[in-house]
Amino acid sequence: MFILRFLLRRLAQGALIIFLVSALIFTLLRVVPGDPVRLMAGGMAPEALIEQIATDMGLRDPIPVQFTRYMSGVVQGDLGQSFVRPANGAAVGGASFDDSTRSARAEVWDLIAETAPKTIQLACLAMVFALMIAIPIGVWGGLHPGGWPDRIALYCSSVFVSLPNFWLGIMLALLLSVKLKLLPAIGYGGFAWTILPALVLAIEIAPFIIRSLTVSVAQIMGQNFIDIAGVRGLSRNQIIFRHGAKNAAVPLLNLLGVQFSMLLGGVLVVEFIFDYPGLGLLTINAVMQRDFPLIQGIAIVTAAAFVLINIVVDLLSTLIDPRLEY
Amino acid sequence: MLNRRSFLNYAGMAGAGVLMNRVNPDFFIGTARADVTKPMTFLSAENITGNWDPTAHTTLSQTTIQGFVMGYLARAPMRPEDPQAMEMELATELNLLDAHRFEIKLREGITFHDGKPFTAEDVKATFEYGAQPDRPAQWYPGPTDSFEVTTPDDYTVIVDTTKGGYGAHMFYFLTAYLPIMSAKDIAEGPKGALTQRLNGTGPFKFVEQRGNDTVMEANPTYWKGDVTVPGVVYSFVGDATTRMLSLLNGQADVIERLEPEQLETLVGNDEIKLSKLVSVENKYLWFRCSKPPFDNPLVRKAAAHAIDRELLLEVLGDAGAPNSNFISPIKFGYVELDNYPEYDPEECQRLLAEAGYPNGEGLPELEYITSTGFYPKTKEYGEVITALLQEQGFPVTLNVMEVAAWNERLYDRPGGGPGHMIDCGWMAGSPEPDLVLRTHFHSSSKRICGIVDPEIDAALDAERNAPSLEARKEVLATNLMPLLADKVPALSLFTSVMIHAMRSEYDGLFIYADGLMDASKVTSAA
């Protein structure tokens, strides 16, 4: 019953969050400058035609009317069609008229379904790299609070967090791809294309994990039950990995949940630099082209992912520490 | 009974199952690099449209793709040493029979990629379809009802312009610009094959559009003989640094629109070759001529005299070449105009005073719109122009926009386009000057500046109606172009220099002055 109540409550909260995000994005898109119909029809299209298309598409209706129409489609699983992208998914622009010969538009859902797996792959690999970097440094620092391992953890975090991701991306591409020819860097042709952007993202998020681990491990290792564990005859490694690390995992898990959600929705710069065809690049192009349905669709999907990831994180936290209640 | 642990176990298994369906397992086993026999990869700075009909757009990247796939009656290399040279391709002869009749003799034994034989009916259908008033790419001297196309036999086409009253020579240079479509595709009409894929007679066959990659393969029956490259992948990559990194690490073979700084980085790199070409594109400062204050030619001319174009060239470095006309030096009819507005602050002040705005007093706040991310250095030289205009009293504000927002504001509208001045280039890959002049300065078109001036209309009609190319050249140089320099509906700032970079192992790539490329005879050192 706990599971059912928990899920119902959290999913209801999640639905509300997604609704609010949708309403906000929908409204903002319609009040900022930039007429999508002008971009769709082309700069040379006459004003009367622009107005006619906009009216036909319902874009001159009041925003609440447009939003209600849009949400009624969303609840039926219809995120609409892209304003500008053809069914083959190419990023397009520069059409010159409302030409009757233009090919069919892509479904927003199809565009997201095609790109999201690549971003999920990138986010997962970035998380693995980040943990590989952060766990040794963070745990080591936490075990020696105030000592030089702690200072190294602090310095590493400071350096990592200070590196701009676009600069780091270009430098790593120059070093690992251009000079050493170890990895491909641009576009996507298989798993190897994910490694470099994942490394950049990992260095970006590792400082947060290092600081969280350092603090939580130091805190846990100062607790009475850790001191008593030694009296019980447990070895230092057993104390650290069975008791210390497990208890330090709860705040880390929450942090990872947030970071993973951020990765899904916020890898814009890194995907742009590496021309990685994931959700981030799709979002940038959609914003550039004022592709309202696509921007809205991506916002809804990433908000839903954020909600679901946080539900999973909370469930996992209760699994690790049954005293927790959400 | 379901508890937290079993719920998580089941949820984990279900999630993994869903993920297996979503994630392509090839991600984990795909090879990282391809060998040297791979198709050539070209990276473009511009995306394409959603419509493969060649008459449906004026987008340069898509025009370049057409250059690989489509056939042309003739090609114009447009090199500075002989800018008007024409090389026959699908045509074997271009003959001006008289002032209003133009004869095209066609090559025999050529087929389209779908197997249809190429004949005169395809040229007739292309001309008649492309000149329809509703086609977005308005390339023809007049609409379909202004000329008549007859086909005395399968390999002869005669264009008669008597009805339109203009010279048949207007079709001469156009033959190097119009991709010839299949009459069968055209007959299918809107939403037919024409819009879904490219079908031409060129060295490469269109295979598919895969996301941002346009995939083409060698045409085994190409009429000029074996194509030495197995295929071409033409991809849109928006970021200039990303394109350069791709070239440096060997993922891309050819990249375009290099920034001058990138050129400096690549000079001396043994793995990279560079190509610099005076292009067919001029960059312009377009005045919005249909609204104050630039509806007054005196104010336009004053602004033109406030701008030191030599300073702009210093900012541009290798990406620009000087120009004193409204068309590129490699266009038909180009002359250095004696009355082209030069930097002259005193003349600027005199004209401002004559227009009723001494020292710029009384001028409204002016908006100058430019873009960043596509053309080289627009923001940088935009700042120079703004400072120069402000120095003379023009209350100008520079508005730098990303490409989509700028594009949305680019063209003329009733009452005048947005802002008061806007930056844009115009590229049309043929020596034909009217692809620029008539397109922009005739009141029936006036794409960006919105000018309506009966004198300019009359001068444009006079050069179009000239009885021969020689007569037309004379009218252009002595009548139309000096008139434009006097009325300045736009100020041509410079001619773009097109910079391409390619992997040095390749040889034999021919680049036209509008960026189109012939890759059919490229060989690899490897």
pLDDT tens for each residue of B129-146 = 999 887 777 788 888 999
| A44 lies within 8 A of chain B by CB | yes
pLDDT score recorded for residue A325: 62
DSSP string, B6-72: HHHHHHHHHHHHHHHHHS-THHHH--S---TTSPEEEEESS-B-S---GGGB--HHHHHHHHHH-EE
- Is the separation of the CB atoms in B458 and B403 below 8 Å? no
User: Using one digit for the tens of pLDDT, what is the confidence trace for B148-195?
Assistant: 999 999 999 999 999 999 999 999 999 998 999 999 999 987 677 888
Strands B523-524, B506-507: pairing kind:
antiparallel
Contacts of A191 in chain B (CB under 8 A): 27-30
The alpha carbon of residue A204 is apart from the nearest alpha carbon of chain B, in Å, by: 20
- The amino acid at B299: V
- Is the separation of the CB atoms in A191 and B29 below 8 Å? yes
User: Using one digit for the tens of pLDDT, what is the confidence trace for A125-159?
Assistant: 999 999 999 999 998 998 888 889 999 999 999 99
pLDDT score recorded for residue B56: 80
Percent of chain A with pLDDT over 70: 89
- Is the separation of the CB atoms in B490 and B284 below 8 Å? yes
- C-alpha–C-alpha distance, residues A269 and B299, integer Å: 43
Under an 8 A CB cutoff, do A86 and B31 touch?
Answer: no
pLDDT score recorded for residue B129: 93
| Nearest residue of B to residue A40, measured between CA atoms | B408
**Residues in A 237-276 with any Cβ partner in B closer than 8 A:** 272-275
pLDDT bucket at A175, cuts 50 / 70 / 90: very high
More confident residue, B179 or A94: B179
**Residues in B 200-229 with any Cβ partner in A closer than 8 A:** 208-212, 214
Could you say which architecture CATH assigns to the domain A111-320? Orthogonal Bundle (1.10)
Q: Where are the domains of chain A?
A: 2-110, 111-320
User: Using one digit for the tens of pLDDT, what is the confidence trace for A182-235?
Assistant: 988 888 888 999 999 999 999 999 999 999 889 988 888 888 887 788 778 788
| B196 lies within 8 A of chain A by CB | yes
What residue has token string 């190097």? B176
- C-alpha–C-alpha distance, residues B436 and B495, integer Å: 13
How is residue B57 annotated by DSSP?
B
Tell me the average confidence (pLDDT) per consecutive run of 10 residues in chain B, 526 residues long: 54 49 39 56 83 82 93 92 91 94 96 96 95 80 92 97 92 92 90 85 93 91 92 89 91 88 87 92 96 96 97 93 94 95 97 96 96 88 97 96 79 88 90 92 89 96 91 95 97 94 90 90 80
Backbone angles phi, psi at A210, to 5 degrees: -60, -50
Q: Within 10 A of B291 (CB to CB), how many other CB atoms are there?
A: 14
| Nearest residue of B to residue A118, measured between CA atoms | B23
Under an 8 A CB cutoff, do A277 and B211 touch?
Answer: yes
pLDDT bucket at A25, cuts 50 / 70 / 90: confident
| Nearest residue of B to residue A37, measured between CA atoms | B408
A272 → closest Cβ in B32, B48, B239: B239
Under an 8 A CB cutoff, do B32 and A100 touch?
Answer: no
More confident residue, A262 or A199: A199
Write down how long chain A is. Answer: 326
Q: What is the mean pLDDT of residues A34-46?
A: 67
Contacts of B64 in chain A (CB under 8 A): none
More confident residue, A49 or A60: A60
pLDDT score recorded for residue B19: 42
CA-based nearest residue to B253, from B34, B32, B504: B504
A319 → closest Cβ in B8, B235, B241: B8
CA-based nearest residue to A267, from A298, A296, A289, A292: A298
Mean pLDDT of chain A: 84
| B1 lies within 8 A of chain A by CB | no
